[in-house]
């Protein structure tokens, strides 16, 4: 559906460089990037608001690099929705149809349909300046979708809506995607990527630095930046060595961690997802296994999924546990526990991947 071949664009003192991206028909692709990574510019390039300095943009097999923006039939929803304040809701939704000179009868029928689909039919005659963020988003979405674009570009669609509305919005996006719409969604929040994407890419300093299924990218991030992005909080500088055919990593504070067998340099960076860290009652097990450490509970915070525990096992380690686990363990600050994780859990970054 969308194919970008070696696209370069300089914008002020910032540049998108060597962008290669392919999104097949009907895919939900999420592009992750911090603010300032060039996400919005990339979308505007695809939509045709800028022309690239070099490279090619193809849509449905056709080169559209120099095609007029009005002829691309790409829907772009802006982060703050860019709803026109001088028009009513209905004026906003019908705007693309009026640009295309549809008849009055068609316009009122299509606007009514679109509004009903997004549950904003009761707002049609309202001006937009006293709508809620969720309502504004639906207006913007209805306006974008009314011409049935072949590709929908979403710029941080969750950033400006209340948390309570995010589920609704996600459901709408999933539904649109199920109906066959190809979606490119850019965000800074990896959780959005996990919950929506069939594939994700990571944009950093104007380059796409990793691409793949969300599971792969977040379980096996290619570098520290992506790992931090994916919400990994346990990072240790380590020395790596082999012993009796198995590999170990030793941290600055002499924690010895067993890691999957592979080829490693002498030094690197080790990451462990906090969900992979299990906490065991001090009475329940012994210290016979690999990657099992005695630890003292330092801090306990409620988290989205349960509790986040910060433990001192020589190194400070973050663990995410469920509420049930937390109640069963019956731990508080300064409790002594065992922590453990499988030898597959550590991710080792070395050499050029270190940023």
Name the minimum Å distance from CB 326 to other proteins. Answer: 32
Q: Residue 352: how many CA atoms within 13 Å on its side-chain side? A: 1
Token representation of residue 154: 């979403």
Q: Which is nearer to other proteins, 100 or 220 (CB)?
A: 100
Cα separation, 20 vs 283, in Å, equals 54
Name the minimum Å distance from CB 20 to other proteins. Answer: 23
Is residue 10 a contact point for other proteins (CB under 8 A)? Answer: no
Residues 48-77 within binding reach of other proteins (CB under 8 A): 48-49, 69-70, 74-76
Token representation of residue 59: 């849509």
Site string for other proteins, 11-50 (x = CB under 8 A): ---------------------------------x--xxx-
Is residue 167 a contact point for other proteins (CB under 8 A)? Answer: no
Q: How far is CA 130 from CA 133, 146, 157, in A?
A: 9, 23, 20
To the nearest 10°, report the CA torsion of 254, 257, 258, 264.
-80
3-state secondary structure of 226: helix
Cα separation, 95 vs 145, in Å, equals 12
CB-CB contact of 347 with 220 (8 Å): yes
DSSP state of 149: -
Site string for other proteins, 83-102 (x = CB under 8 A): xxxx--------xx--xx--
Q: Which is nearer to other proteins, 50 or 235 (CB)?
A: 50
Residues 122-161 within binding reach of other proteins (CB under 8 A): 127-136, 143-144, 147
Residues 221-240 within binding reach of other proteins (CB under 8 A): none
- Contact residues for other proteins (CB under 8 A)? 44, 47-49, 69-70, 74-76, 78, 80, 82-86, 95-96, 99-100, 127-136, 143-144, 147, 162, 165
């Amino acid at each position: 559906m969308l194919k970008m071949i070696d696209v370069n664009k300089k914008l002020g003192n910032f540049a998108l460089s060597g962008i290669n991206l392919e999104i097949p028909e009907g895919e939900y692709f999420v592009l992750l990037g911090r603010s300032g990574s060039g996400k919005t510019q990339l979308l505007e390039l695809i939509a045709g608001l800028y022309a690239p300095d070099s490279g090619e943009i193809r849509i449905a097999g056709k080169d559209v690099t120099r095609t007029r923006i009005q002829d691309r039939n790409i829907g772009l929803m802006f982060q703050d929705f860019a709803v026109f304040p001088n028009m009513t809701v209905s004026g906003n939704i019908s705007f693309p149809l009026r640009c295309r000179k549809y008849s009055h009868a068609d316009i009122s029928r299509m606007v009514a349909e679109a509004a009903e689909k997004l549950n904003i039919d009761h707002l049609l005659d309202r001006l937009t300046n006293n709508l809620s963020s969720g309502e504004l988003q639906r207006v913007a979405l209805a306006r974008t979708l009314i011409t049935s674009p072949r590709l929908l570009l979403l710029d941080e669609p969750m950033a400006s809506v209340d948390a309570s509305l995010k589920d609704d919005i996600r459901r709408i996006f999933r539904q649109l995607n199920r109906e066959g719409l190809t979606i490119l969604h850019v965000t800074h929040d990896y959780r959005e990527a996990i919950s929506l994407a069939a594939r994700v890419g990571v944009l950093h300093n104007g380059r796409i630095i990793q691409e793949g299924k969300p599971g792969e990218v977040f379980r096996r991030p290619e570098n520290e930046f992506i790992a931090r992005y994916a919400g990994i909080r346990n990072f240790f500088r380590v020395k790596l060595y082999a012993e009796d055919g198995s590999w170990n990593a030793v941290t600055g504070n002499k924690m010895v961690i067993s890691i999957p067998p592979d080829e490693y340099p002498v030094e690197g960076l080790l990451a462990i997802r906090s969900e992979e860290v299990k906490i065991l009652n001090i009475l329940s097990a012994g210290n016979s296994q690999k990657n099992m450490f005695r630890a003292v509970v330092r801090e306990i915070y409620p988290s989205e999924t349960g509790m986040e525990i910060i433990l001192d096992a020589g190194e400070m380690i973050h663990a995410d546990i469920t509420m049930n686990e937390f109640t069963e363990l019956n731990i508080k600050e300064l409790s002594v526990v065992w922590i453990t994780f499988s030898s597959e859990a550590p991710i080792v970054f070395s050499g050029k991947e270190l940023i």
